[in-house]
Structure 1
């Protein structure tokens, strides 16, 4: 998984901020990445500036089975119960996340910029024979936003900023399908003659296939910010980023065992390749940040960010084939908070040292609503960073964070066949970031 703020949000939007665990991100305004965190911070950047950053995110998500089973009361009469077969697996997948920003001063009080980055993302992948294959094999969400912004310095104490975002999303989801259990369910409903599944060798847990859904969409949102200078050494940042409604269109592909396909060919129009659609409301968030400089060398930072993850109440996929029932996964997420503290030490005009801590709440309410696609939990960040001023117009930053993830229990039901995934994830994350800043 490469979502390392709450849920599947991506907070890795600068390497300079990484070193502080993104504490004070809406107030620090030390480079053009402020376009994402608080566009009002552009008023602290005279001239023109370009920032290129990249992050290597290396998660582990080791699953241990704790008695996963088939629930016969939920399998449409399928005569099978007992343990789910399959191996444990690590769903973590290393990913690279880039950022680009450009800012420029248009006048004494007017500033502009543009950012290109990824505000949301997810990547988990498991072996085809793992015990949770009916819940998830591949899950990938990729987003890109193009975010132009303007900032206006009202006076020496108050600046305001606003931006718009064109957002692209690309989603791929796959899982195994227990067509043996599906077949017996069709028998119990009278769609197939009694005994036809067994006669064809299509038995529960013994006739796996696969379902894979892909979809894309463009949509838009906006972000707003204010920067309030309480004194020459202290400022507060307020920032808001809107929700974005994504209406995805794409296709569904099914890989069906030949023995079961022969039964479907008797006149059951299910599991044929078709179009697919889904709607996802990606949540808004709001932040308040503090930056305070004790002197020319030392500064402290703090931040609290709220995200409205309660918008994510279910994942529903509808199919163009009118006979194919929708796939619905209840989520029922809660709103979440992220808290962070950081410090900056400038030993001289060349070297900058950073450190930070953050606590990031999971929006997933309990084990019942946790799935192997997003096996998240509360996490604690420890971060370190280093900046080096190469010349008057060029600087590099590097950052490293380790995320300690709380023990993560899962008790997830596959509603189509009654398979219950029960277990625990042992997870952590390492992130390495690097950034080049050039001023003109």
Structure 2
């Protein structure tokens, strides 16, 4: 049996970097952050996000925008997001730990569609204290979503399921210096909950094939950050918005559990439980936006944003317990840019129609560092939306976006010994539908 099965004591060395559980759910902004913090901006591809200030959701994009909202304003909504990730194998190989150092084609299927539907809710409230001061509170989901492959696919040693949930609570204050200039600041409390599942190779049986353990990591953590912005009315028809959201350094803890998947009776396969901890610096973001009223009917919007993804060059998990070893994953994320343009057409007092396009750059450096839990690439947004005012104080928004992504190459060979080579092509796309209700009291 020693010739056909790798001893279970090798499991710690074969564990893939479970630190990836800290933030690799596929989101519909490039990387794993979520722009979908309202539905009113979805129809414009979020162009002008830091300058528009037309409802209380400005608290997230630029808290200075509250100074455009008299009295008390409420806004709530959600976005339903459906990504599609379909993998075609083009030469994946099993881990070298299973093959004695030889290259052997990977066993398993294509994984099906790894993209899953997710709902991203949000709620905001702003209140004018005086002619100069505003306060507000925003609650949303800035990072998340899920990828899930069919069990036993060729890339199972990299990832089978990743699910991440976050919640961000963002109290804010804004000050109006004069009719041209306003400032806003906020603090952010972020909670993260991650669930990551994969297969861990144990050995190879000549009759049964690869023998695997099922590995699951569950972690939770929270941390604090801040955001700030300014709003400047350049002319009566043109407004500039600038905003910044800080890095958030999260330390999460939980456990790592290994359980027998297909190891037959007679071969020892004990359950393994470790304590786990990981730290990650979620990226900072800066936005510069313009809104220009071309005339009484047409409004033009533009946006340039930057995200500091280089804060995540590597993810590391620290395991503690009998036989535990730390693991790591080289990601080498690069900083990324996003450019968006949009327009609003005010048809009448009740109806406004929206449109927008955007180019969104991925932080993934190249195919060799593209994780199976995040088969990400640059994407193009094409967005449409409408706003309906049933009364003077009430507003309904609906928006739709389709994301165009070119076929994405995968050649993840960052640890062929423990995980094997996952090589192939992804066919990706995405659809987002959002609805929002806003009311002024």
- Scaled by the length of structure 1, the TM-score of the pair is 0.91
Match among 65, 87, 90 for residue 109 of structure 2: 87
Residue of structure 2 equivalent to 1:131: 154
Tell me the alpha carbon deviations over residues 63-102 of structure 1, each in whole angstroms, 9 at most, x when there is no partner: 0001111364xx3972653210111121101100101000
> What's the CA shift for 1:202?
8.2
Match of 2:141 in 1: 118
Q: Displacement of 1:418 after TM fit?
A: 4.8
Q: Which residue of 2 aligns with 1:196?
A: none
Question: For residue 279 of structure 2, what is the aligned residue in structure 1?
Answer: 279
Measure the CA separation in 1 of the matches of 2:214 and 2:413: 18
In the superposition, relative to structure 1, how do residues 409 and 299 fare at CA in structure 2: closer, same or farther (>3 Å)? same
- Distance in 2 separating the partners of 1:424 and 1:258: 31
Alignment of 1:9-408 (within 5 A): 9-70=33-94, 72=96, 75=97, 78=100, 80-88=102-110, 89-180=112-203, 201=205, 205-256=209-260, 259=264, 262-263=267-268, 272-321=272-321, 323-408=323-408
Give the whole-Å Cα distance in 2 for the aligned partners of 1:212 and 1:127.
15
Q: How many matched pairs?
A: 414
1:426 to 2:427 alignment = yes
Q: Deviations over 1:99-128 (max 9, x none)?
A: 100011000110111000011113100111
Q: Quote the offset at 1:324 in angstroms.
A: 1.5
Unmatched runs of 5 consecutive residues or more in structure 2? 1-24
Question: Is contact 1:240–1:284 with CA below 8 Å preserved after alignment?
Answer: yes
Q: Give the distance between the partners of 1:313 and 1:414, measured in 2 at CA.
A: 13
Q: 1:286-325: per-residue Cα shift (whole Å, max 9, x none)?
A: 0100000012211100000000000111121111215222
* Deviation (angstroms), 1:327: 2.4
Counterpart CA distance in 2 for 1:260 and 1:248 is: 36
- Cα offset, 1:2, TM superposition: 4.5
Runs of 4 or more consecutive aligned structure 1 residues displaced over 6 Å after TM superposition: none
Task: List runs of 5+ in structure 1 lacking aligned partners.
Answer: 182-200, 266-270
Deviation (angstroms), 1:4: 1.1
Distance between the aligned counterparts of 1:249 and 1:306, measured in 2?
Answer: 30
Pairwise CA RMSD of aligned residues? 1.8
Q: If the length of structure 2 is used for normalisation, what is the TM-score?
A: 0.90
